[in-house]
């Protein structure tokens, strides 16, 4: 291990002790896959989040450099780096929130499901570590295919006897962020004023924007609905093609991940009325997992909201989404049970 890596760790420790004496509030957050395309900007943005007191950066490569770099930012969070499987347990111990962007991204022509074979194993290993070292942490799972990796995580936690459905959240926030942006463009509004619920899952037709429930209340022509639905469902592919082999969305994803993590931390702090879309263990449909609006509290996703009134277009979309979701969920479950 490079010697400066150790130095970052020890200077971090002494500062943390000072903070603990002062009783400064804050949560302990780990990022697994912290040296990647999403991981690096995500680490930077989490270092800027005043709700974070300790930030653990774990990856199988390059964490010494990323940790050294981020640790020079003059914000409150203490940063520590962890490199390789043998440091996974130290990275996870004591964490309140674990964010997972570890795994390979898409290249042009690939679906998210094409990533299954590599990412399923990565998510399994990381979740075994969580079950052992921080079974009460909230988990934000970003690694694709999210529709299958969340069921994989649930199976790993069930096997370990630590599964708490409230604490396992698949991150679909980027679909909401994209929907808000594209809808605001069509309506000529500031995207910060727009709220589009996006339900279902996180791949192709499983991404179901509920344009009839947009806030502020508005209406769209049938052409606008077709355009917006297709653009929101294919937003990820738009970026994959533009990057032409260099990966998938990383910067907008890091932004979305931080927006979502911040929601989880405000919930943990006990803030009232913290609501966001996420892919969770759910009874909203007949499927065991489904994305919809959830209320985040001290114990995670404490309330899962029903879909609300859907129009005919959305009901048809829901049927398509459920069909694909059912097989992605089964694929994840079978991976662990086989
Ligand atoms: P990347 O390849 O740039 O970074 C992935 C990082 O994971 C690398 O640093 C790699 O070393 C690390 N890694 C690999 N195996 C690991 C292990 N066993 N333990 C810890 N770290 C490990 O990929 P990028 O662009 O950051 O994407 C990461 C994942 O996020 C992909 O699966 C991608 O499909 C997914 N994604 C999800 C989105 C969502 O909306 N949920 C949006 C965009 C990407």
Residue-by-residue DSSP string for 61-98: S-HHHHHHHHHTS-SS-EEEEEESGGGHHHHHTT-SEE
% residues pLDDT > 70 (the chain): 93
Cα separation values, 177 from 7, 98, 192, 317, Å: 38, 21, 10, 20
pLDDT by residue (tens digit) across 105-135? 998 999 999 999 999 999 999 999 999 999 9
231 known ligand binder: no
pLDDT in the model for residue 10: 39
pLDDT at 330 over 60: yes
- Residue of minimum CA distance from atom 38 in ligand 1: 142
pLDDT in the model for residue 338: 85
Q: What is the C-alpha to C-alpha distance for residues 313 and 211, in angstroms, rounded to an integer?
A: 10
- Residue of minimum CA distance from atom 4 in ligand 1: 36
Under a CB-based contact definition with an 8 Å cutoff, are residues 100 and 88 in contact? no
Among this protein's residues, is 72 annotated catalytic?
no
What CA dihedral angle connects 169, 175, 178 and 183, to 10 degrees? -120
7 known ligand binder: no
Closest by CA to 211, choosing from 223, 203, 201, is: 223
CB of 60 within 6 A of ligand 1: the answer is yes
Q: Say which of 28, 80, 166, 202 is annotated catalytic.
A: 202
Q: Respond yes or no on whether the N-terminal peptide bond of residue 145 is cis (omega within 30° of 0).
A: yes
Does ipTM exceed 0.90?
yes
pLDDT in the model for residue 76: 96
Across the chain, what does the average pLDDT equal? 93
Closest by CA to 115, choosing from 138, 142, 139, 88, is: 142
| Phi, psi at 237, each rounded to 5° | -65, -35
pLDDT at 3 over 70: no
pLDDT in the model for residue 1: 40
pLDDT grade, residue 57 (50/70/90)?
very high
38 known ligand binder: yes
Cβ neighbours for 16, distance < 8 A, ≥ 6 positions apart:
53, 54, 78
- Residue of minimum CA distance from atom 34 in ligand 1: 105
- For the entire predicted model, the pTM comes to 0.94
């Amino acid at each position: 291990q490079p010697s400066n890596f150790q130095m970052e760790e020890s200077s971090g420790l002494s500062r943390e002790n000072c903070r603990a004496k002062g009783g400064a509030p804050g949560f302990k957050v780990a990022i697994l896959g912290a040296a990647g395309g999403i991981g690096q900007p995500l680490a930077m943005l989490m270092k800027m989040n005043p709700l974070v007191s300790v930030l653990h950066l774990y990856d199988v490569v390059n964490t010494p450099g990323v940790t050294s770099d981020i640790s020079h930012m003059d914000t409150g969070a203490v940063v520590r780096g962890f490199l390789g499987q043998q440091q996974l347990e130290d990275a996870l111990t004591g964490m309140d929130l674990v964010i997972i962007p570890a795994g390979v991204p898409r290249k042009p022509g690939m679906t998210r499901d094409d990533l299954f074979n590599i990412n399923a194993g990565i998510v399994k290993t990381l979740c075994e570590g969580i079950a052992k070292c921080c079974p009460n942490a909230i988990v934000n799972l970003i690694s694709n295919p999210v529709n299958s990796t969340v069921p994989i995580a649930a199976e790993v936690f069930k096997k370990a006897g630590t599964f708490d459905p409230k604490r396992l959240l698949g991150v679909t926030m980027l679909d909401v962020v994209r929907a808000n942006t594209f809808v605001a463009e069509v309506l000529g509004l500031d995207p910060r004023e727009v709220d589009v619920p996006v339900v279902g899952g996180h791949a192709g037709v499983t991404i179901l924007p509920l344009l009839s429930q947009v806030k502020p209340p508005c209406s769209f022509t049938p052409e606008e609905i077709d355009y917006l639905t297709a653009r929101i469902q294919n937003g990820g592919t738009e970026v994959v093609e533009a990057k032409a082999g260099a990966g998938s969305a990383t910067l907008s994803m890091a932004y979305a991940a931080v927006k979502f993590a911040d929601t989880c931390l405000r919930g943990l702090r006990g803030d009232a009325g913290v609501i966001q879309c996420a892919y969770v263990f759910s009874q909203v449909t007949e499927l065991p997992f489904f994305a919809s609006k959830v209320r985040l509290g001290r114990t995670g996703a404490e309330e899962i909201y029903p879909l609300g009134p859907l129009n005919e277009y959305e009901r048809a979309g829901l049927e398509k989404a459920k069909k694909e979701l059912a097989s992605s969920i089964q694929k994840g479950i079978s991976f662990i049970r086989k």
